[in-house]
Amino acid sequence: MKFLKFKKKLLCFVCASATLAGVFFPVQTAFAADSSYEPVTTTDTVYEGFFNGTSSLDMTLSARFTSGAMNEDGGSSEIVAYNEKYNTAYVVNGTKGVLDCIALAHEKTESSVKNLTGTELDVKALVEGKDSSFTYGDMTSVSVSPDGKMVAVAVQDADYSKSGRAVLFTYNKNKKLVLKEMITTGVQPDMITFADNKTVLTADEGEPREGVSGTDPKGSVTMISISNNSKKASKANIIYFDSFDAKRGQLTDAGVIIQKGTNPSTDFEPEYIAVSSNGKTAYVALQEANSIAVLNLKSGKFTNVYSLGLQNYNETEIDLLKNDEINLANYDVYGIKMPDGITLYEQKGKTYLLTANEGDSRADWEGLDNEVESKTSPSGDLKLSEKVVWFNAGMFDGLDSEKAYIFGGRSFSMYQVTSQGLKLVFDSGSDFESITAEVLPDYFNCSNDKISLDNRSGKKGPEAESVTIGKIKNRTYAFIALERISGIMVYDITNPTNVQFTNYINSRDFSAKVQDDVSPEGLAFVSGNRRTAKLLASCEVSGTVAVYDLKAVK
């Protein structure tokens, strides 16, 4: 192990590696940019990308919507979806129980940030008025149909063990949303998406939120076939993981993480869904299992579950020490990637899965807490000078209890989908920490409700939350939201064998612990002309939506 105090310089190439189902794959991870800029020390009205003028894509904050529901615990302005047909953004505000509808028709770049306004659709009142057996608990996600004719939201029941609802809206002749239908889903739908204009999917987590004293609902994916007949209800098929219970040992041998004494049917907790462009296959993130499930949408059956592998910090540098300094070093530690948001990139007949490697624990659930905060790893073989939040591998199968593990990969990854599974082709390694250390050294690894240096180094670092892609001037870019320090990382993924860091923008005001755009959770790419586009980022702590102008300059 080596301990090196980080020196302020940009790395032009960083080597990293990851483990996939026990096999090591070499991974390219790189960023290249001119470091001729000044670190942020003051607050400006307009925020720009740190590498504007030296990268292929310039970024500028042009507008902001403020919901007025700032919440240090999150849940405000959490997920955003965009309807190109009506040039309108829809933003989930679970805290208030409303869907914010923001018209972007008059939004334009100005010399200062334009304040956007919107209208609130009271989803909570609508669903409780429509279904007396349902008690609103939370609204978690929103999606727009490909043809722009429908909007769908996911809502959870206040009772953690009860089914949720998918709520479908259509447009009236005044272009306003009207309730079409409510469809029963699995327990705790956390993400909703259209597979096509006739099919909606929800990722139903089924978390054991009341701990060992409550129930552990089955995780599932609900596949809804939308009815075009107003007198005929849409059909829902709730798809469970029971078929994998008999294969539990095979899964854990391949690196799928399953809690001891449980079966996949109850332990798997679907988090996010990405659908292939032909609408035939859905890829489902099982965050806590550090895996991806493959769902055949024609048969309505899961076909495979694949481990996403580990971040090897023997080869990828990390700051594990919460000591008010920037210390990137190698450790005999492994990061369990555990992605939240995922998306697909299809190119030249190949499909790539992109994952934002956040990490997630069960610390809030009675008797199921898998965090261990200590200077010594649970395996006992690694002792550090500061406390670290470790993953308690002894509670799970699929890991080596003699090794030291932490939550998350502090990166994003790209996997090629093959007939044999997922092949890792790129991982950003230590880029997120290296870059933020360079451009925001005073706030390196701060949190979303604390601006102190190094606050999150011992626990998931910058915490990649979500990822989306967009094409501008024949280049395809990946945008990754960082939940803690905030801001958006951008990579050019046009050539999956030569992925390059492109830019980073952060429109958070660090003069206060929660000011401007804090904790981006959801992203939506808005196509423009050949050289320009926009990116919408919904920020769940500040309760804002940031609108970034994107301009191709090379």
CA separation for the pair 479, 464 (Å, rounded): 10
3-state secondary structure labels for all residues of 260-315: CCCCHHHHCCEEEEEECCCCCEEEEEECCCCEEEEEECCCCEEEEEEECCEEECCC
**Three-state secondary structure call for residue 491:** strand
CA separation for the pair 195, 476 (Å, rounded): 22
CA separation for the pair 223, 462 (Å, rounded): 34
Tokens of 312: 């090897």
The per-residue pLDDT for 27 is: 34
The per-residue pLDDT for 109 is: 56
Sign of CA dihedral 98, 103, 104, 106: negative
Write the DSSP symbol of residue 42. S
The per-residue pLDDT for 71 is: 84
**Could you list the pLDDT tens digit for every one of the 554 residues in the chain?**
332 233 333 333 333 333 333 332 233 333 333 333 333 333 346 899 999 999 999 999 999 999 988 888 888 899 999 999 999 999 999 889 999 999 997 666 556 789 999 999 999 999 999 999 999 999 999 999 999 999 999 999 999 999 999 999 999 999 999 999 999 999 999 999 999 999 999 999 999 999 998 999 999 999 999 998 878 899 999 999 999 999 999 999 999 999 999 999 999 999 999 999 999 999 999 999 999 999 999 999 999 999 999 999 999 999 999 999 999 999 999 999 999 999 999 999 999 999 999 999 999 899 999 999 999 999 898 999 999 999 999 999 999 989 999 999 999 999 999 999 999 999 999 999 999 999 999 999 999 999 999 999 999 999 999 999 999 999 999 999 999 999 999 999 999 999 999 999 999 999 999 999 999 999 999 998 889 999 999 999 999 999 999 999 97
